[in-house]
Amino acid sequence: MIVPKHRILQLFAITYAPGKDAASRYSEVAVMLGIDADTVAAIVAETVGVQ
């Protein structure tokens, strides 16, 4: 399944909650979209410029 980057980023933003770590947010988004959590992490890192 092809998921647009903007959709991944939108869901990542929605999953924000004080005290929730990034890894659990990646997993939550991955489950919602049916993709790999590493893919979510890579897209977020690429977008925010983390190398």
Backbone angles phi, psi at 32, to 5 degrees: -60, -40
Residue 43: which of 17, 13, 20 has the closest Cα?
13
Give me the number of domains the chain comprises. 1
Closest by CA to 42, choosing from 1, 3, 19, 17, is: 3
CA atoms within 13 A of residue 43's CA, in its CB half-sphere: 21
Domain containing 19: what range?
Answer: 5-48
pTM score, whole prediction: 0.88
For the segment 6-47, what is each residue's pLDDT rounded down to a tens digit?
999 999 999 999 999 999 999 999 999 999 999 999 999 999
